[in-house]
Structure 1
Amino acid sequence: MTIKYRQAVKEDAELLVNIYNASFYDDYVFYGECPAYGQTKEHMEQSFENFTKYLILGDNTPIGALSFKNEGDGRYYLGCLCVIPEYQGMGIGTEAFKYMLSVCSDWKEITLVTPADKRRNVKFYTEKCGFSLGEKRMDGNVEIVTFYMNR
């Protein structure tokens, strides 16, 4: 499969909502809430004001998304890195993160949050991407953990 990336535009909002919903449905069911699931098209369009978004394309078919915020001074917040379930476990997310690093070549620090008990995410971000675990806190009914990477 050939993986490519295309910077998303507001006209991709509905497509992004569909990718997020497919990717985060299980989290929504498990936790009873998930900020990435069930967004409106309007909310997604509005998020373009603060986040740069890329579509992950597998053989030119949208299979995932990457969204990050430039917070200035080489600091970035990774808001979303998702691959729809049927394409997970194939190294696509790892390659997408490497792509982000190439796009954000001035990065000094990258942070993100994910549910603390989601072992697959913890393993992915620490072992595949090189993040360190940070603080844990409650966000609604879900304990989340902050990950950070510095250079």
Structure 2
Amino acid sequence: MRLRFIKAEKKDADLLINIYNAAFYDDYVKYGECPAYGKTRGEMEASIEKFPKQIIFNEDNPIGIISLVDRGDGEYYLGCLCIIPEYQGKGIGTHAFHYMIDLYNDWKKITLVTPADKEENIKFYTVRCGFIIDGTEMDGNVRLVHFLLER
């Protein structure tokens, strides 16, 4: 597998919508809501402006997205790390995460949230990426787990 990362631009909005919809469809069905699913072109363009994204490619095939938001003073928020289902479980997410922390090498603290019942996500972030669980909260009808990684 030959992965490469390309910074998303507004012109990529439709492509990002397709990747998000493929990656988050099951969450939308399961929870009846998912903030990453079903975005309009305008919403995605605004998201690209506000939250820098890298499109993950395998060869020439777009297969995922990662977004790390700079909150200042070495603190970042991992807003999205998604891989389309047929490419999950192949180490791509781990590679993408390490690519991003190398790209943003001034990081001191990274946080993120994921649904509490997504055991594969919890295992991925704790075992593969080194995060610790830093609490939970309810967001609508979904319990979220907060993660923290510090150095």
- Shorter-chain TM band: over 0.9
Q: Deviations over 1:49-81 (max 9, x none)?
A: 321100000012100001121000000000000
For the pair 1:22 / 2:17, whether they are aligned, the reply is: no
Q: What amino acid does structure 2 have at the position aligned with 1:45?
A: E
Q: What amino acid does structure 2 have at the position aligned with 1:22?
A: A
Structure 1 spans left out of the alignment, 5+ residues = none
Equivalent runs, 1:101-140 vs 2, <5 Å: 101-140=101-140
For the pair 1:149 / 2:149, whether they are aligned, the reply is: yes
Indicate the SS of the match to 1:86: helix
Choose 118-127 or 31-40, whichever is displaced more: 31-40
Indicate the SS of the match to 1:27: helix
Runs of 4+ in 1 over 6 A off after TM superposition: none
For the pair 1:47 / 2:47, whether they are aligned, the reply is: yes
Seq. identity, %: 60
Indicate the SS of the match to 1:90: coil
User: Within 2, Cα distance between the matches of 1:52 and 1:108?
Assistant: 19
Instruction: Provide the residue aligned with 1:32 in structure 2.
Output: 32
User: Within 2, Cα distance between the matches of 1:94 and 1:68?
Assistant: 14
Indicate the SS of the match to 2:122: helix
TM (normalized to structure 2)? Answer: 0.98
TM (normalized to structure 1)? Answer: 0.98
Instruction: Provide the residue aligned with 2:82 in structure 1.
Output: 82
Structure 2 spans left out of the alignment, 5+ residues = none
User: Within 1, Cα distance between the matches of 2:68 and 2:51?
Assistant: 5
Q: What amino acid does structure 2 have at the position aligned with 1:52?
A: P
User: Within 1, Cα distance between the matches of 2:78 and 2:12?
Assistant: 19
Q: Deviations over 1:69-112 (max 9, x none)?
A: 10000000000000000000000000000001011100000000
Q: What amino acid does structure 1 have at the position aligned with 2:52?
A: T
User: Within 2, Cα distance between the matches of 1:30 and 1:79?
Assistant: 20
Q: What amino acid does structure 2 have at the position aligned with 1:18?
A: N
Q: What amino acid does structure 2 have at the position aligned with 1:102?
A: D
User: Within 1, Cα distance between the matches of 2:50 and 2:110?
Assistant: 16
User: Within 2, Cα distance between the matches of 1:58 and 1:70?
Assistant: 26
